[in-house]
């Protein structure tokens, strides 16, 4: 798959709420995930750690009211999307979380993801 095809597949999965399927089918087993400083999430590597982070995130969410995903912007091996999550957390209430997500793809798989957003006050 080309980077454009990987990007389009990821967007399709995310728009359908199929985040686990996206990770299972599109991520390399050694993918690196980078969150912004102050987010409380460490940089991690590997699908086991990424899956655990996704499960931890899901455990914090009481209800998802909506998710908006932009079309991808692709340049070489990189692509970005904007994502907005309207969620109610079990602790903290309802919040609209907007972020820019930047991915690197190699040989048809995502090898890194980095998220840019302003972390809420802790």
Instruction: Give the residue-averaged pLDDT of 90-104.
Output: 94
Domain ranges (residues) in the chain: 3-116
Q: Are 83 and 71 in contact (CB under 8 A)?
A: no
Give the model confidence (pLDDT) of 4-63 as tens digits. 999 999 999 999 989 999 999 999 999 999 999 988 889 999 999 999 999 998 999 999
What's the Cα-to-Cα distance from 55 to each of 5, 13, 17, 80, 90, rounded to whole Å?
27, 17, 14, 23, 14
Is beta strand 27-34 parallel, antiparallel or unpaired with respect to 44-45?
antiparallel
Average pLDDT over residues 79-97: 94
Which CATH number is associated with domain 3-116? 3.10.450.50
pTM here is 0.93
* Distance separating the N- and C-terminal Cα atoms of the chain: 40
Average pLDDT over residues 89-118: 95
Query: What pLDDT is recorded for position 64?
Result: 92
């Amino acid at each position: 798959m080309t980077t454009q095809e990987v990007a389009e597949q990821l967007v399709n999965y995310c728009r359908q709420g199929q985040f686990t399927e996206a990770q299972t089918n599109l991520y390399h087993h050694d993918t690196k995930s980078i969150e912004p400083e102050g987010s409380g999430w460490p940089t991690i590597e590997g699908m086991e750690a990424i899956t655990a982070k996704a499960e931890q995130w899901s455990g914090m969410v009481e209800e998802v009211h909506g998710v908006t995903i932009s079309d991808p912007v692709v340049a070489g091996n990189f692509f970005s999307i904007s994502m907005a999550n309207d969620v109610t957390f079990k602790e903290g209430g309802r919040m609209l979380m907007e972020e820019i997500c930047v991915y690197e793809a190699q040989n048809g798989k995502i090898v890194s993801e980095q998220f840019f957003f302003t972390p809420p006050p802790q």
